[in-house]
Amino acid sequence: MGLARAWSVALRGVEGHVVEIEADIGGGLPGVHLVGLPDAALQESRDRVRAAVVNSGRTWPNERVVLALSPATLRKAGSGFDLGLACGVLAAAGVVEQRALDGTVLVGELALDGRLRAVRGVLPCLLAARTAGVRRVVVPEDALSEAALVDGIDVYGAATLGQVLAWFEGAPVLARPSPPPALPAAPLHDLADVVGQDDARRALEVAAAGGHHLLLVGPPGTGKTMLAQRIAGLLPELSPDEALELAAIRSVAGVLPAEGLTRTPPFVAPHHSTSMAALVGGGSGLAKPGAVSLAHRGTLLMDEAPEFKSHVLDALRTPLEEGEVRLARAEGIVRYPARFQLVLAANPCPCAPAHDRDCVCPSLVRRRYLGRLSGPLLDRVDLRARMYPVTALSVVGMPAEDTATVRTRVMAARAAAADRWAAYGWRCNGDVPGPALRAHFALPASVVRPLDAGLRSGELTARGADRALRVAWTVADLQGLARPDRDSVEQALYFRDRRAA
């Protein structure tokens, strides 16, 4: 008879919770009983763990084994508990000393022959362990590059269960992570490649400077996708904390690149056949992150936006307002960060000729096509720009501003906004709530008179007026003004013109 404890981590979204694994070996018929709300993959770990222990040259107790995972009310999912379960049983059997397990979190899936396999979510597991004050973490050797992204905690990598047990007995056989390499800047598309389109280029600059959402409408070949792809080169690099937050989301989704941490803002462009689960998150069991979370602190491009299903597009409304996704399942509610910049690109009609004069779509079909972008969704889009075909070869040869030139103005505007909102914790104008703008940074009546006229005529909703105010502040920042003037407000309203869509 024996009782021992080991520790692992349960993930709920990108939030980790340290789990205590209690192993009790006592009288009764031989068998393994697992309690503490395990999912199907965790229930199957009983057979994996037993086979891994035996095939590692250790003896499995021929008695009743009870494994309890605490807190008992927290749903545990996945195979990452295998290593902790195996070590807990062997400690209860006297093979491993309890003091060797104290203060150590064990994460990894066991193969039947004792090999240790990597699992999703190692990075948020380590972040949770560090927050809980854990000193050491043992992970699969294949996950060491990911584990190296977390400082302030001792991380060890093992290839097999046997190596972990030998390390507990005093053998220095576990690997340590190497410092993460300095990554070169990712190559970006240049804004100089886009021909003409002065209005759309200006809208893109304002969107990048203020973190605003953008809609581009125009026939094929006018550069909508090209322009949208070039917003990535105008955005500031991620801070270390933001880069780590993005890496944690990618780790849970199983798409963390080999290089690990990157400071480049993400750019995600799902296909128009994307399902709602793929866009906002979902799946069986506890929901996985979707494209909106993978675009956190970056850009989400919805190219050919009217081709997306209407209910899929409308699912963006809450993330656009709140900056997170809440997904409820029978196993619980998970929250994923989703503070992204939305760029929509659309043709004006289904036939989409090079020139509107060649359109063969009836007016009802045209209205129905763009009507797939619902009013509530468009009300959350700050800027709308119409793009037109290039009609002269002389325009093609004209030099256009490159990304570096525009980025200089964008960074200056963002620095002005960050300095203004620093005391409130907002990074850019797009993050500022409307009530704060109206209450603490109210503009003179003569400046906001165009907004009042739009509200009275029904051209603007209250939400739309708040968003126009944010854009006006961004326009002022780009012009080097301390506060928006009437011209700034009129420019903001120009880019909210419904006729642009």
- CATH assignment of the domain containing 452: 3.40.50.300
What would the mean pLDDT of 465-490 be, rounded to a whole number?
Answer: 94
Is there a single domain that holds both residue 156 and residue 217? no
Is there a single domain that holds both residue 231 and residue 154? no
Taking only the tens place, the pLDDT of each residue in 63-116 is 999 999 999 988 898 899 999 999 999 999 999 999 999 999 999 999 999 999
Using the 3D structure, point to which of 113, 133, 168 is the last residue of a domain: 168
Residue 399 has pLDDT above 80, yes or no: no
Is there a single domain that holds both residue 207 and residue 147? no
Average pLDDT, the chain: 90
What would the mean pLDDT of 428-435 be, rounded to a whole number?
Answer: 90
DSSP, collapsed to helix, strand or coil, labels residue 396 as helix
Residue 283: the pLDDT is: 77
Domain count, the chain: 2
DSSP designation for 38: B
What would the mean pLDDT of 325-353 be, rounded to a whole number?
Answer: 89
Residue 318 has pLDDT above 60, yes or no: yes
Residue 91: the pLDDT is: 95
Among 227, 276, 252, residue whose Cα is nearest residue 77: 252
Is there a single domain that holds both residue 107 and residue 213? no
Residue 193 has pLDDT above 60, yes or no: yes
Is there a single domain that holds both residue 116 and residue 248? no
* Cα 317 versus chain centre, distance: 16
Residue 401: the pLDDT is: 86
Helix ranges (DSSP H) in 189-238 = 198-210, 224-229
Is there a single domain that holds both residue 137 and residue 225? no
pLDDT band at 129 (very low <50, low <70, confident <90, very high): very high
pLDDT band at 395 (very low <50, low <70, confident <90, very high): low
> Which of 200-214, 331-345, 381-395 is the most confident on average?
200-214
Is there a single domain that holds both residue 468 and residue 382? yes
Whole-angstrom Cα distance, residue 377 to residue 310? 10
Taking only the tens place, the pLDDT of each residue in 404-417 is 999 999 999 999 99
- The model's pTM is 0.89
Residue 397 has pLDDT above 70, yes or no: no
Is there a single domain that holds both residue 7 and residue 109? yes
Among 37, 68, 63, 40, residue whose Cα is nearest residue 50: 63
Taking only the tens place, the pLDDT of each residue in 19-44 is 999 999 987 888 999 999 898 888 99
What would the mean pLDDT of 197-221 be, rounded to a whole number?
Answer: 93
Residue 288 has pLDDT above 60, yes or no: yes
- Residues ≥6 apart with Cβ < 8 Å to 15: 124, 128, 335
Taking only the tens place, the pLDDT of each residue in 240-259 is 899 999 999 999 998 888 76
DSSP designation for 443: P
Give domain status of residue 305, yes or no: yes
Residue 440 has pLDDT above 80, yes or no: no
DSSP, collapsed to helix, strand or coil, labels residue 301 as strand
Contact call for residues 321 and 380 (beta carbons, < 8 A): yes
Residue 214 has pLDDT above 90, yes or no: yes
Q: Could you list the residue range(s) of the whole structural domain that residue 142 is in?
A: 2-168
Question: CATH code at 157?
Answer: 3.30.230.10
What would the mean pLDDT of 124-137 be, rounded to a whole number?
Answer: 94
Whole-angstrom Cα distance, residue 131 to residue 126? 9
DSSP designation for 61: P
Tokens at residue 425, please?
């914790």
Whole-angstrom Cα distance, residue 129 to residue 149? 14
Give domain status of residue 180, yes or no: no
Residue 354 has pLDDT above 90, yes or no: no
